[in-house]
């Protein structure tokens, strides 16, 4: 620590920031980080203003900016404290967003590991939560439209972690029930199987937020969803985990439901 509580030697500041004295000297040579004062022995000391400035430099570097660009940003801000605080608030929002994204990634990968260990089916919505949704987003928009994607995405992100897990567990339970019904030889139009489909339809309605995706009546869109289960390996893997042919069984049962409720 330097002369007082608001002054730090170059070594202390470098250690606290997780960098090196050489790096700080380099920033000084570029005019990015000027010492508050230099001691008789040549030791550089930095005040609280330099500490805030270094924090901004490191944050901007993490955002991918080069040192010349950082110099321009800092020069534009000048020494105005209000401008600096506003800029730090923007950084804070970005960091919080990144933290939330990483937290979702950790939860997503943990769920995948747990399900693989238990032999449970995976769901795309939970397997890719927290990752880049661009490819998945484009696919959904192509199938059902931008408005449908944005509505469903807002709804999903508004749920708590517990609500998300409950919603996903319902899907797992429905897939398992389809598998058991298929294994016991029940007909797709039987009351027992159609009761499973009714639960499935309510689950889909919740996820679709009452919208008729693709401009079709819900029952028709729901039946079409069954066809997608069969053609999309991501869904087929989850259903056929409960027995070969379960996906086709679910599709046929969904088609019966769609025709009966039109």
Q: What's the pLDDT at 150?
A: 72
Percent of the chain residues topping a pLDDT of 90: 25
Q: What confidence tens digit (pLDDT) does each residue in 214-239 have?
A: 567 888 888 888 888 888 877 787 78
Fold annotation for 119-260: Globin-like (1.10.490)
d(CA 61, CA 55): 10
- Both tokens of 125, joined, read 């919505």
Q: What's the pLDDT at 219?
A: 85
Dmax of the chain from CA atoms?
Answer: 92
Query: Structurally, what CATH architecture does the domain formed by 7-79 represent?
Result: Orthogonal Bundle (1.10)
Residue 1 has pLDDT above 60, yes or no: no
pTM, rounded to two decimals = 0.49
Q: What's the pLDDT at 142?
A: 65
User: Which residues are CB-neighbours of 95 under 8 A, at least 6 positions away?
Assistant: 59
What is the mean predicted confidence (pLDDT) over 99-111? 72
Which of 97-111, 171-185, 212-226, 236-250 shows the lowest mean pLDDT across its residues? 97-111
- Both tokens of 65, joined, read 């900016």
**134 versus 52: which is more confidently predicted?**
52
**125 versus 110: which is more confidently predicted?**
110
d(CA 262, CA 246): 24
Residue 154 has pLDDT above 50, yes or no: yes
Residue range(s) occupied by CATH 1.10.1660.10 in the chain: 7-79
Element (H, E) at 114: helix 81-118
d(CA 5, CA 230): 67
pLDDT-based confidence at 2, cuts 50/70/90?
very low
Q: What's the pLDDT at 21?
A: 92
Say whether 172 sits in a helix, a strand or coil.
helix
Which of 77-86, 169-178, 233-242 shows the lowest mean pLDDT across its residues? 77-86
Residue 33 has pLDDT above 80, yes or no: yes
d(CA 210, CA 228): 20
Q: What's the pLDDT at 28?
A: 92
**134 versus 54: which is more confidently predicted?**
54
Query: What Å distances lie between residue 95 and 90, 147, 158, 240, CA to CA?
Result: 9, 28, 20, 41
CB 112 within 8 A of CB 167: no
Strand ranges, E, within the chain: 7-9, 37-38, 44-47
Strand partners, 47: 7
pLDDT-based confidence at 6, cuts 50/70/90?
confident
Highest mean predicted confidence (pLDDT) among 1-5, 32-36, 142-146, 156-160: 32-36
Residue range(s) occupied by CATH 1.10.490.50 in the chain: 119-260
């Amino acid at each position: 620590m330097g002369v007082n509580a608001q002054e730090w030697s170059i070594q202390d500041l470098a250690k606290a920031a997780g960098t090196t004295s050489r790096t700080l000297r380099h920033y000084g040579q570029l005019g990015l980080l000027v010492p508050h004062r230099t001691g008789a022995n040549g030791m550089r000391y930095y005040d609280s203003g330099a500490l805030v400035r270094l924090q901004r430099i490191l944050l901007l570097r993490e955002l991918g900016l080069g040192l010349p660009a950082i110099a321009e940003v800092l020069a534009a801000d000048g020494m105005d404290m209000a401008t600096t605080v506003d800029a730090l608030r923007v950084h804070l929002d970005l960091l919080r967003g990144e933290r939330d994204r990483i937290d979702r990634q950790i939860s997503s990968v943990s769920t995948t590991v747990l399900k693989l260990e238990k032999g449970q089916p995976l769901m795309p919505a939970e397997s890719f939560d927290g990752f880049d949704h661009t490819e998945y987003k484009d696919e959904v928009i192509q199938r059902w439209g931008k408005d449908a994607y944005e509505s469903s995405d807002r709804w999903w992100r508004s749920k708590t972690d517990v609500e998300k897990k409950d919603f996903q567990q319902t899907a797992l339970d429905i897939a398992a029930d389809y598998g058991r019904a298929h294994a016991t030889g029940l007909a797709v139009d039987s009351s027992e199987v159609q009761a499973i489909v009714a639960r499935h339809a309510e689950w889909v309605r919740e996820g679709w937020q009452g919208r008729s995706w693709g401009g079709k009546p819900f029952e028709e869109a729901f039946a079409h969803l069954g066809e997608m289960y069969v053609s999309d390996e991501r869904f087929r893997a989850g259903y056929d985990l409960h027995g070969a042919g379960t996906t086709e069984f679910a599709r046929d049962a969904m088609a019966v439901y769609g025709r009966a409720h039109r």
